[in-house]
């Protein structure tokens, strides 16, 4: 065919012979007939050179990147080879991954888009369903993963569990404290899941388990048990943002109790119209105070600050709970020696605060005292794990339409694993 090299360049294929290109007037698509360059064919699964077996199921098509506004398909024979390991298998083709219905350049562009723009934009631009995007990024990540050693140089790790599918399912994730990279993720949150990580780490190179010096987590027992078994030398730390979240959750419980109480009072004083109105007004104000109580004081809006001042005047218990939460959060900004003293002072304050849930929290904090102080001492309180955690939560929302965990994991790893996809044809 004339201009064969031009077509090779335009179609973005290598080691491929372009036999002919036709425009299908009816379907309004461009169909390029291609074949792999001469040479002994390889097994599609493992890439071993293998003997020809048969013609397979005849012609096949692969979707490729549009040319201008015209959809493009590559068409070729899908003959089979006889692999020593895999038996009769469709031969490897240079333009697509084994078993894929899209070309490598198409896959690559979808993977790049998945890390850059919205679900709607990708599906509309590439003319594919979101589930197809899921299948594509799963195979792209599988390829990227084999090309990189995700565990190289890993010494200080954070282990976290993240819920998805509205809290029905969980992922266990491992983050590198020093680079902020997501290094591993798997569905499940139990000992077997986490052992899967340590098995993979052990298999990736000799002495890799021994190199782990610090492990931070959220205080879950199953994590602590597995870490003690697999990396007894590692110093165990408590991730500060989890500890602060315990306090934020306790504060929220106090707020809800006060709100419910005020609502109930509002219902009981029906005979006294004014008293009822006041109680209902108070209930609503407490309900609306959620964000003022949650936010760090330096980020409060003027309106939220007014709300907080109002709580200080009218709800001493709720305000005390707020101060306890803030007190605990501030400890993580101190250096180690100051923090130890401040943490003990905080515990004695919380023990006497007469808010049952904070008395319980104080007991929990004492249990993890050493782990909390270790996090501060070894600089694991820098918020890196928290930021990765936040990003993965956002990704789980984007990935909601995927049926299974692998596309969600692929999307998280492509975004946060340190090897973000590039556009095809660019470096």
Which residue in the set 46, 209, 357, 366 belongs to the binding site for Zn ion (CB under 5 A)? Answer: 46
Question: Can residue 85 be called a binding residue for Zn ion (CB under 5 A)?
Answer: yes
Whether residue 259 contacts residue 286, with contact meaning beta carbons closer than 8 Å, is answered with: yes
Beta bridge partners of 62: 74
Tell me which stretch binds Zn ion (CB under 5 A): 44-52, 151-159, 267-275, 333-341: 44-52
DSSP for 75-96, written as a single string: EEE--EEEETTTEEEEBP-TTB
Q: Computed from CA positions of residues 343, 349, 353, 356, in that sequence, does the dihedral angle turn out positive or negative?
A: positive
Tell me which stretch binds Zn ion (CB under 5 A): 46-54, 133-141, 302-310, 329-337: 46-54
Q: Of 320, 315, 314, 295, which Cα lies nearest the Cα of 305? A: 295
Beta bridge partners of 403: none
How far is CA 257 from its chain centroid?
Answer: 33
Q: How distant, in Å, are the alpha carbons of 6, 293, 362, 376, 382 from that of 324?
A: 70, 11, 10, 19, 21
Cβ 89 to Zn ion, closest distance in Å? Answer: 6
Beta bridge partners of 174: 159, 184
H-assigned helices in 148-272: 191-204, 221-230, 240-268
Question: Can residue 86 be called a binding residue for Zn ion (CB under 5 A)?
Answer: yes
Tell me which stretch binds Zn ion (CB under 5 A): 79-87, 168-176, 237-245, 274-282: 79-87
Q: How far apart are CA 131 and CA 109, in angstroms?
A: 16
Q: How far apart are CA 106 and CA 96, in angstroms?
A: 9
Which residue in the set 34, 74, 81, 83 belongs to the binding site for Zn ion (CB under 5 A)? Answer: 83
Cβ 61 to Zn ion, closest distance in Å? Answer: 24
Cβ 16 to Zn ion, closest distance in Å? Answer: 21
Tell me which stretch binds Zn ion (CB under 5 A): 10-18, 37-45, 203-211, 406-414: 37-45
Q: Of 426, 427, 421, which Cα lies nearest the Cα of 144? A: 421
Q: Which two tokens stand for residue 179?
A: 């680079």
Tell me which stretch binds Zn ion (CB under 5 A): 35-43, 219-227, 273-281, 308-316: 35-43
Whether residue 332 contacts residue 240, with contact meaning beta carbons closer than 8 Å, is answered with: yes
In the complex with Zn ion, the residue whose CB is nearer, 40 or 403, is 40
Cβ 135 to Zn ion, closest distance in Å? Answer: 22
In the complex with Zn ion, the residue whose CB is nearer, 41 or 134, is 41
Residue nearest to Zn ion (CB): 43
Q: How far apart are CA 423 and CA 126, in angstroms?
A: 14
Cβ 79 to Zn ion, closest distance in Å? Answer: 15
In the complex with Zn ion, the residue whose CB is nearer, 46 or 342, is 46
In the complex with Zn ion, the residue whose CB is nearer, 31 or 46, is 46
Q: How many residues bind Zn ion (CB under 5 A)?
A: 6
Give the containing element (helix H, strand E) for 114. Answer: helix 104-114
Q: Region of 418 please: left (phi>0), alpha (psi -120 to 50) or beta.
A: left
Q: Of 370, 383, 329, 349, which Cα lies nearest the Cα of 236? A: 370
Which residue in the set 10, 17, 31, 45 belongs to the binding site for Zn ion (CB under 5 A)? Answer: 45
Q: How far apart are CA 30 and CA 19, in angstroms?
A: 13
Question: Can residue 105 be called a binding residue for Zn ion (CB under 5 A)?
Answer: no
In the complex with Zn ion, the residue whose CB is nearer, 6 or 85, is 85
Q: Considering only residues 171 through 230, tell me which ones interact with Zn ion, judged by CB under 5 A.
A: none
In the complex with Zn ion, the residue whose CB is nearer, 45 or 323, is 45
Question: Can residue 96 be called a binding residue for Zn ion (CB under 5 A)?
Answer: no
Cβ 85 to Zn ion, closest distance in Å? Answer: 5
In the complex with Zn ion, the residue whose CB is nearer, 92 or 315, is 92
Cβ 48 to Zn ion, closest distance in Å? Answer: 5
Question: Can residue 43 be called a binding residue for Zn ion (CB under 5 A)?
Answer: yes
Cβ 88 to Zn ion, closest distance in Å? Answer: 10
Residues at the interface with Zn ion (CB under 5 A):
43, 45-46, 83, 85-86
């Amino acid at each position: 065919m004339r201009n064969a090299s031009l077509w090779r360049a335009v179609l973005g294929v290598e080691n491929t012979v372009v036999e002919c290109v036709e425009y299908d007037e009816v379907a309004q698509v461009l169909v390029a007939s291609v074949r792999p360059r001469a040479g002994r064919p390889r097994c599609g699964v493992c890439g071993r050179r293998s003997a020809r077996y048969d013609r397979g199921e005849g012609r096949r098509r692969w979707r490729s990147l549009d040319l201008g506004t015209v959809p493009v398909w590559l068409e070729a024979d899908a003959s089979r080879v006889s692999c020593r390991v895999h038996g009769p298998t469709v031969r490897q083709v240079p333009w697509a991954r084994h078993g894929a219905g899209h070309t490598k350049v198409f896959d690559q562009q979808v993977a790049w888009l998945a890390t850059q723009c919205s679900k709607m934009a990708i599906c509309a631009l590439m003319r594919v369903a979101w589930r197809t995007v899921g299948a594509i990024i799963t195979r792209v990540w599988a390829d990227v993963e084999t090309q990189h050693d995700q565990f190289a140089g890993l010494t200080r790790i954070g282990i976290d569990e993240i819920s998805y599918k509205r809290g029905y399912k969980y992922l266990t994730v491992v983050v590198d404290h020093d680079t902020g990279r997501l290094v591993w993720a798997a569905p499940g949150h139990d000992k077997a899941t986490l052992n899967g990580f340590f098995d993979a780490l052990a298999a990736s190179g000799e002495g890799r388990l021994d190199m782990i010096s610090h492990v931070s987590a959220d205080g879950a027992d199953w994590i602590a048990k597995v870490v003690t078994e697999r990396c007894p030398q590692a110093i165990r730390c408590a991730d500060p943002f989890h500890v602060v979240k315990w306090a934020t959750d306790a504060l929220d419980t106090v707020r809800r109790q006060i709100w419910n109480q005020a609502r109930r009072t509002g219902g009981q004083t029906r005979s006294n119209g004014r008293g009822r109105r006041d109680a209902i007004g108070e209930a609503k104000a407490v309900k609306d105070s959620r964000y003022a109580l949650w936010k760090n004081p330096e980020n409060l809006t003027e309106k939220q600050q007014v709300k907080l001042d109002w709580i200080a005047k009218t709800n001493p218990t709720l305000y005390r709970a707020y101060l306890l939460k803030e007190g605990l959060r501030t400890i993580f900004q101190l250096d180690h020696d100051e923090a130890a003293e401040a943490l003990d002072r905080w515990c004695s304050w919380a023990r006497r605060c007469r808010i049952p849930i904070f008395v319980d929290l104080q007991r929990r904090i004492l249990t993890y005292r050493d782990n909390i102080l270790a996090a501060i001492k070894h600089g694991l309180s820098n918020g890196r794990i928290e930021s990765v955690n936040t990003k993965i939560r956002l990704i789980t929302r984007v990935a909601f339409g995927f049926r299974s965990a692998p596309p969600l994991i692929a999307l998280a790893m492509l975004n946060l694993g340190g090897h973000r996809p590039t556009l095809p044809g660019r470096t």
